Amino acid sequence: MSDWCPIAKEYDPLKAGSIDGTDVEPHDRAVWRAMCARYRPNKGVAGDPLLTLFVARLNPQTTEEKLHSVFSKYGDIRRLRLVRDVVTGFSKRYAFVEYKEERSLTRARRDANKLLVDQHEVFVDFEQERILKGWVPRRLGGGLGGKKESGQLRFGGRDRPFRKPINFGNGGGGGGGGGGAAQEREGEGSRGWDRHGPRGREDRYRQREADWGSRDRRDYRDRDREDRRHRDRR
């Protein structure tokens, strides 16, 4: 737990698919595809990855000129690339912006995230492909972030950081997905619970009915004694 971090330092598809990074088995096919992928970062991309921002969720109509005018407010831009389809030429709705200075990069990441550009709220973060070891893109089942509606949520990034695993008190807080649940189930069993409810509930009901029955019998005997006493006095 001491080295836990909400942001991934190294990309692991299995951990990225888990809300707290403790899963031990893939929960969807995309995670399995990412685990089996042999992806290599594109070395042909020019520019310094440590000075490059990733800008996503763009309006399909947003142009390079519009992006340049928006992101040049944070500092001098060395290179800007809007990714387009090689066949149709349509925007793929994400871009890379390389700055000349690190302070410009930091300022743009801090202030431009969730900025409205052409009526779309953009997402801005550091480039991951050439920086994060083991990176697998979303098209291969990897990536970070995503929407719940798509059914392919990935954690460990700025948009969806990891949640801290629950420590159950035996030192196994991050020891693997399902471990905590298993311990919780064991704890429930020790408290007398099973999948049908409290264990022995029927036995308690029977005991309660027996107690009430014996109480009724005692009351009946007491009333019978009182009646006999009254008859004897007459």
User: In terms of C-beta density within 10 A (0-12 exposed, 13-18 middle, 19 or more buried), how is residue 142 classed?
Assistant: buried
Beta strands in the chain (DSSP E): 52-56, 77-84, 91-99, 116-117, 120-121, 123-126, 193-194, 197-198
Please measure the distance between the N-terminal and C-terminal CA atoms of the chain and give it in whole angstroms. 85
The one-character DSSP state at 52 is E
Tens digits of residue pLDDT in 97-153? 999 999 999 999 999 999 999 999 999 999 998 889 999 998 899 999 887 777 788
pTM: 0.66
> Of 144, 184, 139, 204, which Cα lies nearest the Cα of 19?
144
85-103 pLDDT per residue, tens: 999 999 999 999 999 999 9
Exposed, middle or buried: residue 83 (CB in 10 Å: 0-12, 13-18, 19+)? middle
Query: By the 8 A CB rule, do 113 and 8 touch?
Result: no
Query: Which CATH code fits 13-150?
Result: 3.30.70.330
Length of the chain as a residue count: 234
Secondary structure in 3-state letters for 12-49: CHHHHCCCCCCCCCCCCHHHHHHHHCCCCCCCCCCCCH
Q: pLDDT tens for residues 187-199? A: 444 444 444 444 4
Instruction: Write down the pLDDT at residue 148.
Output: 77
Q: Is the pLDDT of residue 82 over 90?
A: yes
What is the rounded distance in angstroms from the CA atom of residue 12 to the CA atom of residue 4? Answer: 14
Please state the domain extents for the chain.
13-150, 200-233
Instruction: Compute the C-alpha angle 140/121/45, nearest 5°.
Output: 45
Tell me the C-alpha distance between 159 and 214, whole Å: 65
Q: Select the more confidently predicted residue: 55 or 221.
A: 55
Burial (CB < 10 A; 0-12, 13-18, 19+), residue 140, is middle
What is the predicted pLDDT for the residue at 151?
75
Question: Is there a contact between 74 and 111 (Cβ–Cβ < 8 Å)?
Answer: yes
